[in-house]
Structures are given as C-alpha cells and as structure tokens.
Amino acid sequence: MEKGQEETPATAMVTNGGVGSGEAIGRDASICGHESLNSLLSANLAPDVFREVSRLLLGLNRAAPLNVIPVSDSAKALSLEHDFDIQAFQFSADKEVLREPRVVRVGLIQNSIVLPTTAPFSDQKGAIHEKVKPMIEAAGASGVNILCLQEAWMMPFAFCTREKRWCEFAEPVDGESTRFLQKLAKKYNMVIVNPILERDVNHGETIWNTAVIIGNHGNIVGKHRKNHIPRVGDFNESTYYMEGNTGHPVFETAFGKIAVNICYGRHHPLNWMAFGLNGAEIVFNPSATVGELSEPMWPIEARNAAIANSYFVGSINRVGTEVFPNPFTSGDGKPQHADFGHFYGSSHFSAPDASCTPSLSRYRDGLLISDMDLNLCRQLKDKWGFRMTSRYELYADLLTQYVKPEFQPQVISDPLLHKKSS
Ligand SMILES: NC(=O)NCCC(=O)O
C-alpha cells in the first residue's frame, strides 16, 4: 500500500484465535472503520490538508515526506497468498564528505495468533511458526538486514490469566523457536530479534521475558531480558517473571548496533536513555498492548525516544483479540472477562529527526520495512547536541541521592504559605 493511498474501509471481520476457532470480532471499535489513522485521514481530508497534517503527524525527513519504496514481486506475492500487509519506506540522511552512507534495511512483523487458546499448546505454537514463516520469507526476499518479531510472538499473551499452565510455552534461549529462526537468519543473511518467554534452565528453570539476538550467520549473539514488568490493568506479568538482570546491552551486529526495549519499558525514559548511552543506533520495542490502555501513548513514546536519544526506533504490537478459557479479574473493579481486549497492531518506525512511518493496520498481520541511513543518528547529535547538553552529572547526583532511604525532595516552600494571616 502506497503512503496516502486509501485502504479498504474495515467492513470485513477478523479472525482472532479466540476460544472458538475462527471466531469473528466486529471492527466497530476501530477508528471509524479504517485500518489506521493514516488511512482515515487520507480518506477524509483534501490532499493539501492531508499533506499539512502529515507534516506534523509524521514529520519530515530531510525536509520531505518519507519516500515509499517498491516491494519486490516475490514479497508481494507472499503477502497476497498469505494475507498480510506489506509496506516499505526510506529514511535518508545528508551526504557526508568523510563517511559513506550506512543504509540498512530493517523489518518489523506484527501478527495475530492462529488457533484457539484451547488447542494443544504445541499445535498453537506450531501454527504461529507456520504463519510467521512466509512473512519472514517476504522480509528475506526483500533484502531485509535486521528483522524483529513481536513480544512473546510464539504464544498467546496469556499473562492476564495468572494461570501457571501457560509457563509451558517457555523455552530456553536456544529452544525450538530460536532454532526455527536460526535457519531463516542464516538462509537470508539476516539478523533476527526473537522475543520469547524464556525458561532459564541453568537457574532453577526461572522464567523471563527475553529477546534473543540471532546473528546473520544463524548464531546466537546474546539476549536481553525485559527490564520493567507491568502491574497495570490485566497485564499480570509479574505473576510469571521478574525484572530482567541483563542491564542495557547493545548488540554490535553485521548491520549496526541494536538494542531491545521490551514493551512496558517504553514508559521509562531512563531505560531508553541507557540503550542510547551504550551506543544503540536502532532500538526495537516488541510489544503486546491493547487499545483501551495505551493507544494514545503508542505513537508518542517511541517517537520521543528516537528524538531524545538520536537513534531509530522500531515499534511492534501484536494484532487481534485473544480469548482465554477461564474468565479472570485484575482487582480493578471490572467484571470478570476472558480477554485482554484488542491488540491494536500499529507497528511503525521513528527516526531521530522526528520523522516516522505511517503505522501498519490495527487489525491485519503485516510486515513493515524501512531503509535507514544510520548516519542520521550522528547528524542529529551534531545538529541538536542533545548528548552534549544533557548535564548527566546533575541527574547522576540526583539519582544517587534519590535511591537513599533518607532522601528528602528538594522543595522550597513559599514562606508566606504557612504563615497565619494577622
Ligand atoms: N506487554 C506489556 O508489557 N504490556 C504492558 C502494557 C503497556 O505497556 O502498554
């Protein structure tokens, strides 16, 4: 789909892997029947007004809207055969005298689950592998260098339930899903970020929420464990795993320095900053989040992180509504229910110059591709000087004080505030 092109109004139904196989969810909860904000605006605004609104909503890259780049015929054929959206864009940077451009092609995959959550676990996982495979092949056929999948892509996001049986989906870092992706990484000379539910067999079978980095030779480069675990709404993830113990690693790959800020970590500016301090050029944010809770935050937080830290961000969210067999509550006064609500997709890229791609659909599976010249990171540091002007020592000092039990907030009260009037 070309940027600005109208998409089909969302009159169809989506299957969602609910308890009843192929159960259909009406699209009424969408933004007025459109697949994305971009399609709603392009369908409803005059072209010159749409251009001006897009200038502010999506920004400009080197004073122009992002270029749409062609998708290869073989990738297009896969997307038609397997019914997923595919879109491709290009972030460029100024030409430099002393450095060659460093253009990498990056891909993001969003998808719904396939089978009902009542199906045997191995069938559920196998069906997701099968669904995602042609999408990865489309990325490979498109020459994608670095690809990231969504958070815990190999299972339903069952952490709302608090039922421990979903732990059976957990895998060691070198488990089934990693091995599945290693073959594809090697075949397509592609780095793949593989966010899984991890079982740490060397530490008492502990469970973590982890992203495994697979190198372009199919090797395991390393792993990062989710730093911030939500305790909000139905996101009862703290029942399953603890805060990660891997710090803020940046992985130097054949195609650039990458890091992973897993889902809820995107609400924590220091988390984003730490990946930047370690030199990340692209930070992925594989997520699972629902409209009612976070949709207004979604386009802002990633874009802000990209600007503040002078790196690219790739944001991914799953799609669909996943219905679980047993109703649950989360202590928030809501009646018992059996699903999280709608995972709204809307995966997109943000760049350090405040430009960003339109988002993928709120409903459909999709592969979003973007070329990015990594030289843009340093060019923005030079232009805005955010690193240089950051005054880290001020904040290092404040934080050192803040974590002490005897910390007193620096508050200067108006002396007249508590004075009795005579
Ligand atoms: N998966 C996850 O951490 N979700 C929390 C909700 C949110 O951060 O939007």
With beta carbons less than 8 A apart as the criterion, state whether 233 and 293 touch.
yes
Torsion sign, CA atoms 353, 355, 357, 362: positive
Q: What is the pLDDT of residue 14?
A: 34
CA of 262 to the centre of ligand 1 (A): 9
Spot the catalytic one: 226, 257, 281, 356. Answer: 226
Cα gap 94→191, rounded to integer Å: 26
Active-site residue (options: 148, 160, 263, 356):
263
Of the residues 110, 241, 289, 342, which should be mutated to test ligand 1's pocket, given the most ligand atoms within 8 Å of the CB?
289
- What is the best residue among 157, 160, 208, 263 to mutate for testing ligand 1's pocket, by most ligand atoms within 8 Å of CB? 263
The long-range contacts involving 290-296, CB below 8 angstroms and separated by at least 24 positions, are 290/233, 290/340, 290/341, 290/342, 290/343, 290/344, 291/29, 291/341, 291/342, 291/344, 291/362, 292/233, 292/341, 293/232, 293/233, 293/235, 293/341, 295/344, 295/346
Distance 39 CA to ligand 1 centre (A): 25
Looking at residue 396, the DSSP 8-state letter turns out to be: H
Active site residue 263: yes
Confirm if 84 and 135 have CB atoms less than 8 A apart: yes
Q: Calculate how far, in angstroms, residue 35's C-alpha sits from the geometric centre of ligand 1.
A: 22
**Contact assessment for residue 75 and residue 82, using Cβ atoms and an 8 Å cutoff:** no
Active site residue 151: yes
Radius of gyration (C-alpha) of the chain in whole angstroms: 22
Question: Is the C-alpha dihedral spanning 378, 212, 221, 188 positive or negative?
Answer: negative
Q: How far is the CA of 226 from the centre of ligand 1 (A)?
A: 11
Q: Which residue has the tokens 């791609």?
A: 357
Task: Please report the DSSP string for 220-262 in residue order.
Answer: EEEEEE-S----BTTB-GGGT-PPPSS-S--EEETTEEEEE--
Residue 420: per-residue pLDDT: 75
Instruction: Give the contacts of 56 (CB within 8 A, at least 6 positions apart).
Output: none
Matching residue, tokens 């676990």: 121
* Residue-wise DSSP of 299-323: HHHHHHHHHHHTSEEEEEE-EEEEE
Q: What ligand 1 atom has the least distance to the C-alpha of 262? A: 3
Q: Which of 345, 115, 328, 370 is CA-nearest to residue 239?
A: 328
User: For a pocket test of ligand 1, which of 268, 285, 294, 316 has the largest count of ligand atoms closer than 8 A to its C-beta?
Assistant: 294
What are the CA-CA distances from residue 129 to residues 77, 175, 367 (Å)? 19, 13, 15
Ligand 1, atom 9, residue with closest C-alpha:
289
Going along the chain from its start, the domains and CATH numbers come out as 14-381 (3.60.110.10)
| Residue whose CA lies nearest to ligand 1 atom number 3 | 264
Q: Which residue has the tokens 């370690």?
A: 278
Token output for 215: 């190198």
Which mean pLDDT values do the consecutive 10-residue runs of the chain (422 residues) have? Answer: 36 34 44 90 97 97 97 98 98 98 98 98 98 98 98 98 98 98 98 99 98 98 98 97 98 98 98 98 98 94 98 98 97 94 97 98 96 98 97 98 98 89 64
Q: How many secondary structure helices (H) and strands (E) does the chain include? A: 10, 17
**Contact 27/33 with Cβ under 8 angstroms?**
yes
Return the HEC string of 344-359.
ECCCEEECCCCCECCC
* Ligand 1 interacting residues, C-beta cut-off 6 A: 151, 230, 235, 263-264, 287-289, 293-294
* Cα-to-centroid distance, 286 and ligand 1 (Å): 10
* Amino acid identity, position 38: N
The enclosing H or E element of 370 equals strand 366-373
Terminal-to-terminal C-alpha distance of the chain: 72
If you take atom 6 of ligand 1, which residue's CA is the nearest one?
289
pLDDT value, residue 18: 37
How many Å lie between the centroid of ligand 1 and the Cα of residue 289? Answer: 5
Q: Which of 35, 151, 171, 301 is catalytic?
A: 151
Which residue has 């830290």 as its token pair? Answer: 309
Nearest CA to ligand 1 atom 5: 264
CA atoms within 13 A on the CB side of 119: 20
- Is 319:345 a contact under the CB 8 Å cutoff? yes
Structure tokens at 152: 């815990």
Amino acid at 343: F
